[in-house]
Structure 1
Amino acid sequence: MAGSAQNTAVPVGAEAKPAPPRSRLGRRRPGAFLDLSVQVGVVLALCLAWEAGARLGAINPFLLPPLTDVLARIGEDAASGAVFVDLGLTLYRALLGFFIAAVIGIPVGILMSRVAVVRWFFDPLLSVGFPMPKVAFLPIFILWFDIYDTSKVIMVAFSCFFPIAAATYAGTTGLDKWPIWSARSFGAKEVEILWEVNLPMALPQILTGLQVALPVGMITTVVTEMLMGGRGIGGSMIMAGRFADSVGVFAGIVEIVALGFLVVKSLELLRARLLAWHPETRR
């Protein structure tokens, strides 16, 4: 017994093993809860000020209806199913145009950084087209295509293409040359270098371009619906405005805010998952 206890005893002066680190999902950034609390508090304060200003007569209820009336209208539209149809159509047009722009813009940006002829052709187009208002082309797209979903989706894709292609070109051009040279020294082919070195290194910049393009696509979708009419959040807002239905107009604004928030946050979560290996996620 004494020998057994002597064998299992911890030697004097021996250092204890450090506890295993918690998983990355279990760690919390200091101050994250405080940041979230402040953001929620600001939103609640704005909502209370909106409601109080309309109820107390500080603001004309027609110009700014009470928030409770707006939420009640959204509840009525949700009960009838109209709000889900409008949200679904707007989301469908925005995401389809965004996906088309990503499928075209990412390869174009990569080719611009690797093929001189492609860069010579697209660089002036990006320089001219990036800052100009894309909605100016809407009458042309209506003449070329139709007044239904086709022209709206193409308008969204056209608006999203420029930030995606520009971000991809910038991300794949300014890469560190040492990993590429190392891969070549080990006999890696150019296709392998592209998929296993270039794209992972440029992925943060590409995702930033996608995060910039997605809100642009949402804005373009709502604007085209307002200008062309039909079902969708933008079309419903214009119809409500024609009938002087201020509650309906603000209901559409609240719906756009909620939809945009969910879509943008979903893309942020996708970015964090795709960049789980990157230092920005571990930070």
Structure 2
Amino acid sequence: MAAIDHVTGPRAGSLLSPVTMLRIAIIATVLLLWEALSASGLLYRDVVPSLLAITRALALTLADAAFYRNLAVTGFEIILGLAVGGGLGLACGIALGASRFLSRAFEPYLYYLGPTPKIIFFPVMIMMFGVGPGSKIAMGALSCFFPVALSAAAGMRQINPVLIRVGQSFRASTLQMVTKVYLPGMREPTLNGVRLGLGVATIGTLLAETKLSNQGLGFLVIQNYQRFDMPGMYALLIIIFGLAVALNALVSRLARPLR
């Protein structure tokens, strides 16, 4: 009997899918355009450094122990801000989703305040928490609160009412309802909210570090800018972008439906 060939990819015998090839082509095109612009001299010298200079700066940055100390500071601020803001947002979202009265009374404010640039509140954070890590953590917490709260509230409304009635029929406590019914039932929308919250918390924390700080990745970026070390600044931006993509991919993987 002849063997049956199984097609494991988008096309038999193809190593790369068309989508992957298109992504590679886009990246290659961007790099070629960047290098051409760098060599053209159309912009002020070193504003668009060559790829070789950026690669050299990237290697020097990754070999510098000070970079990892500042990375630890920023990571701590983002994680703690996400924990505080995400925790409060989750509690608020559950309360709004469980009560039609609270939802109608307070949820519109979340929609109005959510898109507001949170950096405008940074002077208030400085007055309340000082110029140290506290104000950066507060910025991260404030930034991630809104997407987590709104996603959790929407997730609460997606829970099968039968599951809620079953929990109530067994006279489950509030804590048991949250841990056994609400959180499992709203897992995907909540994790999507956390993914969005992580992104805006990172932005808020880094912006705060560029405004007033003497440590952190945002501080390093603005320091290189002030010294006009463009290769070093771009190297840091590449690292921050790579870390953000990796964290986003991790949370997105956790948000996938359970099988």
Shorter-chain TM band: 0.7 to 0.9
Deviation at 1:30, TM superposition (A): 4.4
Equivalence for 2:230: 246
**Among 262, 276, 282, the residue aligned to 2:246:** 262
**Among 124, 136, 139, the residue aligned to 1:140:** 124
What does residue range 111-260 of structure 1 map to in structure 2 within 5 Å?
111-115=95-99, 118-119=102-103, 122-181=106-165, 183=166, 187-191=169-173, 194-260=178-244
What does residue range 3-14 of structure 1 map to in structure 2 within 5 Å?
none
Equivalence for 2:4: none
Contact 1:51 1:68 (C-alpha < 8 Å) held by counterparts = no
Q: Distance in 2 between matches of 1:105 and 1:224?
A: 21
* CA gap 1:96/1:28 in 2 versus in 1, 3 angstroms: farther
Q: Distance in 2 between matches of 1:53 and 1:227?
A: 30
Equivalence for 2:69: 85
**Among 250, 255, 258, the residue aligned to 1:271:** 255
**Among 54, 65, 90, the residue aligned to 2:49:** 65
Deviation at 1:175, TM superposition (A): 3.2
Higher relative contact order (CA 8 A, sep 6+): 2
Which moves more between the two structures, 222-231 or 122-131?
122-131
Contact 2:82 2:140 (C-alpha < 8 Å) held by counterparts = yes
* CA gap 1:28/1:232 in 2 versus in 1, 3 angstroms: farther
Q: Distance in 2 between matches of 1:114 and 1:179?
A: 13
Q: Distance in 1 between matches of 2:104 and 2:145?
A: 17
Scaled by the length of structure 1, what TM-score is found? 0.77
Q: Distance in 2 between matches of 1:138 and 1:210?
A: 22
Structure 1 residue 52 corresponds to structure 2 residue 31: no
Equivalence for 1:94: 78
Aligned length in residues? 247
- Unaligned 5+ segments in structure 2 are 1-6
Counterpart code for 1:224? A
**Among 67, 77, 88, the residue aligned to 1:104:** 88
Deviation at 1:133, TM superposition (A): 1.3
Identity between Structure 1 and Structure 2 (%): 24
Q: Distance in 2 between matches of 1:188 and 1:61?
A: 72
> Which structure's CA Rg is the greater one?
1
* CA gap 1:29/1:118 in 2 versus in 1, 3 angstroms: farther
Q: Secondary structure at the match of 2:200?
A: helix
Scaled by the length of structure 2, what TM-score is found? 0.83
Q: Distance in 2 between matches of 1:29 and 1:144?
A: 56
* CA gap 1:175/1:251 in 2 versus in 1, 3 angstroms: same
- Unaligned 5+ segments in structure 1 are 1-26, 278-283
Deviations 1:236-275, CA, capped at 9 Å, x for gaps? 1211222222222222221221111111112122223xx3
